[in-house]
Amino acid sequence: MKKVLFIDRDGTLVIEPPIDFQLDSLEKLQFYPGVFQYLARIATELDFELVMVTNQDGLGTTSFPEETFWPAQNKIIEAFENEGVRFSEILIDKSFPEENAPTRKPGTALLTHYIKGNYDLENSYVIGDRNTDVQLAKNLGCKAIFIGIDINPEATLTTTSWKEIFTF
């Protein structure tokens, strides 16, 4: 059975823009320190499938048009692929929080095929910077790695270092 790293995008792989929390231009694109070096090592040295799972509030609406999202998203994927990191799947929920969509993290509707498939979720992880990522891990039956400065007692590991994630 395959283990999976379900990895959040904003605040985990890339720095979340602090003003509007939308990565909607290449000028705002900044990668999380150490992510290339250590995620590449995870991808080549450890036995995990990599899946990007991200909430993008209102993607496709006038407040967050898709034409401003995709250039940055495509650059992110290209940059990781250039470093040998390939995501087997990229799952994007476009709903707003108040919609309470089952596809929105911490909901698992986008991940049903992992729950029903031949995956070792007990030894898999969700990596993210929000409590919803930790809750998603619980909902999937995975462990959580929380990226942040405040300790999250429900996470298996709390850190701000991709090196520490790799070592762990």
- DSSP category for residue 92: E
CA dihedral 74, 77, 78, 79 (to 10 degrees): 120
Catalytic, 8? Answer yes
Angle 112-118-120 from CA coordinates, rounded to 5°: 90
Catalytic, 133? Answer no
Alpha-carbon distances, residue 145 vs 69, 70, 100, 109, 152 (angstroms): 26, 27, 24, 21, 9
In single-letter form, the type of residue at position 39 comes to: L
- CA within 13 Å, CB half, 92: 14
In single-letter form, the type of residue at position 30 comes to: Q
Catalytic residues: 8, 10
